[in-house]
Amino acid sequence: MKQEVISRMHQIMNKEQILTNLEDRMTYAYDGTMQTGVPGVVVFPRTTRQVAEALRLANREKIPVYPRGAGTGLSGGSVPEQGGIALVLTDMNRILEVDTGNLLAVVEPGVVTEALQQEVERVGLFYPPDPGSLKSCTIGGNIAENAGGPRALKYGVTRDYVLGLEVVTPTGEILRTGGKTVKNVTGYDLTRLMTGSEGTLGVVTRAVLRLIPRPQDVRTAMAVFATVDGAAEAVAEVSRRGILPTTLELMDDVTIRCVENYLHMGLPVDAGAILLIEVDGFRPAVDEAIITVEKVCRELGATGVEVAAGPAEREELWRARRAVSAAIVQLKPTKISEDATVPRSRVPEMVRRLKAIAQKYDLTMAIFGHAGDGNLHPNILADRRDPEEMARVELAVEELFRAAMELEGTLSGEHGIGSMKAPYLPLEVGETGMRVMRGIKAALDPNNILSPGKMLWG
Amino acid sequence: MKQEVISRMHQIMNKEQILTNLEDRMTYAYDGTMQTGVPGVVVFPRTTRQVAEALRLANREKIPVYPRGAGTGLSGGSVPEQGGIALVLTDMNRILEVDTGNLLAVVEPGVVTEALQQEVERVGLFYPPDPGSLKSCTIGGNIAENAGGPRALKYGVTRDYVLGLEVVTPTGEILRTGGKTVKNVTGYDLTRLMTGSEGTLGVVTRAVLRLIPRPQDVRTAMAVFATVDGAAEAVAEVSRRGILPTTLELMDDVTIRCVENYLHMGLPVDAGAILLIEVDGFRPAVDEAIITVEKVCRELGATGVEVAAGPAEREELWRARRAVSAAIVQLKPTKISEDATVPRSRVPEMVRRLKAIAQKYDLTMAIFGHAGDGNLHPNILADRRDPEEMARVELAVEELFRAAMELEGTLSGEHGIGSMKAPYLPLEVGETGMRVMRGIKAALDPNNILSPGKMLWG
């Protein structure tokens, strides 16, 4: 990084907000993937003004800027692959407002997702999006990636809770989108264009988030099936009965065995699949719903259904699901976590294809995730130190993307494109889609300084 | 319209799909507003290919194109103010697929909203968006305007049900966005960018719509209040009790008297406001909810609360709300219907300001609409043949927009900007917002042929 740029940066923010030592910069070279890229400088703005001035400087000097929150991303979106400036938003972490009258919160991008949830639940409200990393990931990152989570089945994803944004454009202008009303059709929907744009169109410096009343009650059940098809059939039948569960999580045989080896909690290691089903809402409704869920599962051949009697038992049922990521890496050190998504009815076919792909390339694959919305997480377990194996992983990944396409699915349900899936984006959106997206990018970022190399340039 | 263009159009579609007589073209010069503009030619494409070829022709010849459905819009978005081609999508009106397994429908843009709702309800599914014109408006128009309706309070607006689109771009390319999965974060959210773009970025030729299970039961109540504040307080308290009604409709005193004069159904003409409250979902839940709603209304001073015992009584309660538009034009021939929207807690203040504005400019204003989400419909009643009165209307409208802005609201909750509100758009989105939106428009429509003069150029 040119010394001149560093000194200009010191005119924008204080000394302690700027890191230049290699050891410090190294710690911002990673996210939740295997991607790496060392930034030339790491800055921690504290105000929208500082973000805007930093971007104006970068735009003038044509220096790449990679915004990031907690760096838990699973598509490489925040990794500074071309060096430049790592723009870390974690110091802008205030919850500015929780408005119980209008069911909304105004937050800065660095607020940790779980912290917001706990804050609003204290006053009887609810912020549904629950990405797996919610204990550490930030709202800014959630918005940039349009994060999902298990509860997305009933409540939708981050996009569905963003009412308005303050965004700094790549040219350093401050843009305000949407606002504090649930309904807003004033001009183009820039709020949703920015949501999920993976830090390529602007830097979110403030967000107005929609909240909902906290559900009165939650009931949870775990059902064991001999086959994935049986589990998938139950998933479909539950919604046919007019029930929309909060979550409908699937674990396949490999996943079950990994978790059992890890926790020794007595999971049925001979089972083909386990469903973790949760319903929430009005007490009378959830009581009726969980009974129906149990009935449906038994009718469709569940070898066992357990309904949690209380919070403690509920926690116990969730323990298995929560342990998955930690458990599967016991098998092999490197986890390649995908999230190709298919229409729900195609889940059994997708699982069949995934297992065939794992076999074809002689790889270990654990399949789990959000069966209710077809958003599975096939995780390939490998060892990055074994180049021959990693080559097979690459072939398998491309094949699973193509399988998702063939089943009318999508490359990514919630992890985003980033750098990991950029080469495959044209597969799904086509040449016209690429042209339109690149046109929008160029209109907002003429010098292509914001997250260059991500999403649109594989 | 140049004869050469007409004859080229005849190479694209059949004779009976093209109208050139003035009498015929006149009938496509209107929408739901007072705006008019006679198109040079009216065409009725039947396939995506025909739409694409028509747009390529128009783009080559730099001829304005105004896409439209049933022409029920309330912001002038489909009126061919610069002449050119009226592109009518009503002949592309097939429901191509209702997928009960994946809870989605695939439709052409000309499908009438109510027709889709009836079709999916037959198989136990539900398409929530319910704009007032649902008996005649089309899905394509709903998507272009991001239409709302009373049920938006609980279920959200059209945007929340569009999973994927086939769109013909202004340059005649066929763009496919989103798909059949509920979760999709693959590239920019072009689906939502197109939704609500009011026919300025592309022409929707096919849509994948998300459906939900049909609610098991519905309960409806009507509560009479001495003041709008009392009604508004009840609105707030209902949600504080953790209830999210399907609809929460308000009628002010002027509206009540108009409806009573029109229907003679025994409405309390001395009341300050009436709330029409509906809850739906699981039977046990709605039974509990409607009891709470009644309790809250009485606690907050409702002088009367009526809960419908069955479908017949429910219809009766809705009769008043449905008759509003027809009733108020009995007062004066010209209805200027606005939909400036404020955060829900500001509704009482907004109503006070609206009444003050009406008084200041000596105008008759009926206020009704979706109190639950702050999306009021202040309707000014006037006579367009009286220029002096219409001048006062114009001043009043601008003042009500400013009032909405001051209360952290928005110009439009569901009607869109079109030509009616275009002059006021910069008020809300600012210069940066205008620049970004115009940049996106230019990227997709370099010759500005699609709906020129709308939204971005007031």
Q: Which domains does chain A have, with CATH numbers?
A: 3-88 (3.30.43.10), 95-213 (3.30.465.10), 217-406 (3.40.462.10)
Question: What are A255-273's pLDDT values in tens digits?
Answer: 999 999 999 999 999 999 9
- What is the mean pLDDT of the segment spanning A16-21? 98
Whether A52 has a pLDDT exceeding 60, the answer reads yes
Q: What is the pLDDT of residue A296?
A: 96
Q: For the CA atoms of chain A, what is the radius of gyration?
A: 22
Contact (Cβ atoms closer than 8 angstroms) between residue A69 and residue A109: yes
Residues of chain B under the 70 pLDDT cut:
458
Yes or no: say if A127 and A106 are a contact pair by the CB < 8 Å rule.
no
B210: enclosing H helix or E strand: strand B203-210
Chain B residues lying within 8 Å of A406, measured CB to CB: none
Is the pLDDT score of A4 beyond 90?
yes
Query: What does the pLDDT read at residue A243?
Result: 87
| Residues counted in chain A | 458
Q: How confident is the model at residue A34 (pLDDT cuts 50, 70, 90)?
A: confident
Establish whether this prediction's ipTM goes over 0.90: yes
- Residue B99, pLDDT score: 95
Nearest-Cα residue of chain A relative to residue B149: A183
Using the Cβ of B172 and the Cβ atoms of chain A, whether some distance falls under 8 Å is answered with no
Q: Which of A171, A169, A161, A174 is nearest to A194 (CA)?
A: A169
CB-based contact (8 Å) between B102 and chain A?
yes
pLDDT averaged over every residue in chain A:
95
Put simply, the answer to whether A440 touches B442 (Cβ < 8 Å) is no
Highest mean pLDDT among A34-38, A195-199, B335-339: A195-199
> A343 in contact with B at a CB cutoff of 8 Å?
yes
Give the helix/strand (H/E) hosting A225. Answer: strand A217-225
Q: Which of A103, A196, A443 sits opposite B439 (nearest CB)?
A: A443
Residues of A in contact with B342 (CB under 8 A): 181
pLDDT greater than 60 at residue A156 = yes
- DSSP H helices in B161-310: 190-194, 228-240, 253-263, 283-299
CA nearest B154 in A: which residue? A212
- List of residues 6+ apart from B15 with CB closer than 8 A: none
Of A152, A212, A289, the CB nearest to B244: A212
For chain A, what percent of residues have pLDDT higher than 70?
100
pLDDT at A458 over 70: no
pLDDT digits (tens, 9 = 90+) for B160-174: 999 999 999 999 999
CB contact under 8 A, A188 and B193: yes
Distance (Å) from the alpha carbon of B150 to chain A's nearest alpha carbon: 11
A186, A289, A429 member nearest B187 (Cβ): A429
Q: Which residues of A touch B48 (CB under 8 A)?
A: none
What 8-state DSSP symbol labels residue B157?
Answer: -
Q: What is the edge-to-edge ordering of all strands in the sheet holding A85-88? A: A18-19, A41-43, A85-88, A65-68
Under a CB-based contact definition with an 8 Å cutoff, are residues A212 and A128 in contact? Answer: yes
Tokens 């899905």, residue located: B139
Banded model confidence at residue A382, pLDDT cuts 50, 70, 90: very high
Question: Is A415 within 8 Å of B159 when comparing Cβ atoms?
Answer: no
Torsion region of B32: left, alpha or beta (phi above 0 gives left; psi -120 to 50 gives alpha): alpha
Helices B425-444 and A425-444: crossing angle in degrees, nearest 10, is 130
**A277-294: pLDDT as tens digits:** 999 988 888 998 999 999
Model pLDDT for residues A66-91, shown as the tens digit of each residue: 999 999 999 999 999 999 999 999 99
Residue A171 CB partners (closer than 8 Å, separation 6+):
A55, A56, A59, A444, A445, A446
What pLDDT sits at residue B458? Answer: 56
First to last CA, chain B: 25
Do A152 and B102 make contact, defined as CB atoms within 8 angstroms?
no
Q: Is B328 helix (H, G, I), strand (E, B) or coil?
A: helix
Q: Quick one: pLDDT at residue A195? A: 98
